[in-house]
Amino acid sequence: MPKVEALEAGGHPRRGRGRRVASSLAEINVVPLVDVMLVLLVIFMVTAPMLQRGLDVNLPVARRSPQIASERIFVSVPIGFRTNRVVYLNEEPIRVDLLEERMRQAMVARPEKEVFLRGDGAVQLQELTEVFDHLKAAGVERVGIVTRLPGER
């Protein structure tokens, strides 16, 4: 609210002028605002890496190995696996009995013993477990399961 100077006894203002209105400067204190913004910045910097982390699938008997960027190996289990016992190592069809030896050969020069498993949606868990067993016997340490998002083709 503006301040009004009082009039002297004779009805005249103290300084010889009429009524004087003095306004006070309204300043916003930005220090608390900056403090809150810095705290929020630190919180976002700490939580952002946690939000981007995926889910790792490790086999129970997996051994650790140093990570390097290399070409990925995909093993695909089609719906016809039940009848012909054939899986695909990248794009090459292989009988599941020969999968262990082929995986050992593929893993010899790789420090990262990682395979990505793609299975048809109709393949049963027992069939995937059998392929897992062959991969473990071949020395594969980590198996990632490839999925797709709803609506993707």
C-alpha 55/C-alpha 77 separation (Å) is 22
* Residues recorded for the chain: 153
C-alpha 117/C-alpha 75 separation (Å) is 5
Structure tokens at 123: 């393949």
> Sheet of 114-119: strands edge to edge?
92-95, 86-89, 74-77, 114-119, 142-145
Q: Please choose, from the candidates 97, 98, 92, the residue with its C-alpha nearest in 3D space to the C-alpha of residue 76.
A: 92
Please, are residues 94 and 88 in contact by the beta-carbon 8 Å criterion? Answer: yes
Residues linked to residue 13 through DSSP beta bridges, in sequence order: 7
Chain centroid, CA 57 distance in Å: 14
* The model's pTM: 0.50
Cα dihedral 56→58→62→64 (10° resolution)? 10
Please, are residues 89 and 106 in contact by the beta-carbon 8 Å criterion? Answer: yes
Q: Which residues of the chain have pLDDT under 70?
A: 1-25, 52-70, 148-153
Phi, psi of 94 (to 5 degrees): -140, 140
pLDDT of residue 54: 43
pLDDT of residue 6: 57
C-alpha 10/C-alpha 115 separation (Å) is 100
pLDDT of residue 4: 57
